C-alpha cells in the first residue's frame, strides 16, 4: 500500500489544470482561496475515484460514444474557463484592503474558488483516462469492501494534503505585488485556453 500511496502523491503533484487552478486562486487571492480550490479539486478526484470503483469502465464499454463525447466536453469546458478567466468573469473574491504586512483582507470570502477547482478537475479529459486505466487496476489489487474503502479514504486524504501544500506554497507569491499586475493576471487564462485546445485537437 505504501508504494501505491507514494505513487499517487507524485501523480497528484504533477503540473496540470488542477495545480494551475490552485495556483491561480492562491496567488491572486491568498491562502484561503488556495485551500478552497484544493478542496474542490480533491472533491473532483474523489468523484472520479468513486465512479471508477462503481464501474465507469463498464459504462463506457456499454456506451462507447461516451468515451468520445465526455473528453470533448471536458476540453471545451477548460477553454471556457480560460476565456472566463481572461475576461475576469470569475468573481473568486473581493478584497477590501491590504494589511500592513502585505497580506490581503477579503470582505466577502471566496465563494467560487471551491467550484472553480471542482470544475477544473472534473472537466479534465485526461482524468477519464487516468482513473479508468490506472486507478481501477490499482484498486483491483485490494480485496473486500472495507479494504477498498480504507485505501480510497487514504488516497483522497493524500490528495488534499498534496493540494493543500501546493496552496500554501503558491500563496507565498500573493504577498508580492508583481503577481497582481494585469499582465500576470492573464497568464492562467491563456494557459487554460491552450491546454483545452491542445486536448481538443488531440482528441479530434
User: Does residue 174 register a pLDDT over 50?
Assistant: yes
The arithmetic mean of pLDDT across residues 183-196, rounded, is 71
User: Does residue 165 register a pLDDT over 90?
Assistant: yes
pLDDT greater at residue 155 or residue 98: 155
CA-to-CA distance for 28 and 31, rounded, in angstroms? Answer: 9
Q: What are phi and psi of 98, to 5 degrees?
A: -110, 140
Helix, strand, coil shares of the chain as percentages rounded to 5? Answer: 80, 5, 20
Contact 41, 117 (CB under 8 A): yes
- Of residues 90, 76, 72, 73, the one with CA closest to residue 186: 90
pLDDT at 154 (0 to 100): 92
Q: Could you identify the residue written with the cell 487514504?
A: 154
CA-to-CA distance for 59 and 47, rounded, in angstroms? Answer: 15
CB atoms within 10 A of CB 163: 26
pLDDT at 97 (0 to 100): 43
Identify the burial level of 171 via C-beta atoms within 10 angstroms of its C-beta, where 0-12 means exposed, 13-18 middle and 19 or more buried. Answer: buried
The arithmetic mean of pLDDT across residues 171-182, rounded, is 68
The arithmetic mean of pLDDT across residues 50-55, rounded, is 79
Q: Could you identify the residue written with the cell 490528495?
A: 159
| Gyration radius from the chain CA atoms | 18
pLDDT digits (tens, 9 = 90+) for 119-157: 889 888 777 777 777 777 777 778 877 888 898 899 999
The arithmetic mean of pLDDT across residues 48-52, rounded, is 85
**Which residues pair with residue 98 across a beta bridge?**
104
pLDDT greater at residue 41 or residue 146: 41
As a whole number, the mean pLDDT across the chain is: 77
Per-residue exposure over 1-10, b if at least 16 CB sit within 10 Å of its own CB, e if not: eeebeeebee
- Of residues 112, 93, 117, 101, the one with CA closest to residue 30: 93
CA-to-CA distance for 156 and 160, rounded, in angstroms? Answer: 6
User: Does residue 101 register a pLDDT over 50?
Assistant: no
- Give the up-direction half-sphere exposure of residue 136: CA atoms within 13 A in the CB hemisphere: 16
Sign of the dihedral defined by the CA atoms of residues 112, 30, 199, 8, in that order: negative
User: Does residue 31 register a pLDDT over 80?
Assistant: yes
The arithmetic mean of pLDDT across residues 24-40, rounded, is 89
pLDDT greater at residue 144 or residue 180: 144
pLDDT at 8 (0 to 100): 87
pLDDT at 88 (0 to 100): 63
Q: Which domain holds residue 45?
A: 2-203
pLDDT at 105 (0 to 100): 38
pLDDT over 90 for what percent of the chain?
18
CB atoms within 10 A of CB 45: 26
User: Does residue 198 register a pLDDT over 60?
Assistant: yes
Total number of domains constituting the chain = 1
DSSP 108: S
Amino acid at each position: 500500500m505504501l508504494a501505491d500511496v507514494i505513487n499517487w502523491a507524485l501523480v497528484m503533484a504533477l503540473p496540470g489544470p488542477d495545480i494551475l487552478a490552485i495556483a491561480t486562486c492562491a496567488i491572486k487571492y491568498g491562502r484561503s482561496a488556495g485551500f478552497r480550490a484544493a478542496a474542490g479539486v480533491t472533491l473532483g478526484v474523489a468523484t472520479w475515484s468513486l465512479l471508477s470503483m462503481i464501474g465507469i469502465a463498464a459504462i463506457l464499454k456499454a456506451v462507447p460514444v461516451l468515451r468520445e463525447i465526455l473528453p470533448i466536453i471536458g476540453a471545451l469546458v477548460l477553454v471556457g474557463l480560460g476565456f472566463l478567466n481572461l475576461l475576469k468573469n470569475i468573481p473568486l473574491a473581493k478584497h477590501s484592503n491590504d494589511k500592513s504586512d502585505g497580506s490581503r483582507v477579503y470582505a466577502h470570502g471566496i465563494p467560487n474558488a471551491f467550484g472553480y477547482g471542482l470544475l477544473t478537475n472534473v472537466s479534465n479529459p485526461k482524468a477519464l483516462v487516468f482513473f479508468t486505466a490506472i486507478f481501477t487496476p490499482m484498486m483491483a489489487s485490494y480485496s473486500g469492501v472495507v479494504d477498498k474503502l480504507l485505501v480510497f479514504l487514504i488516497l483522497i486524504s493524500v490528495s488534499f494534503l498534496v493540494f493543500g501544500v501546493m496552496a500554501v506554497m503558491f500563496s507565498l507569491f500573493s504577498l508580492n505585488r508583481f503577481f497582481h499586475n494585469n499582465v500576470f493576471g492573464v497568464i492562467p487564462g491563456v494557459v487554460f485556453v491552450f491546454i483545452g485546445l491542445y486536448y481538443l485537437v488531440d482528441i479530434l
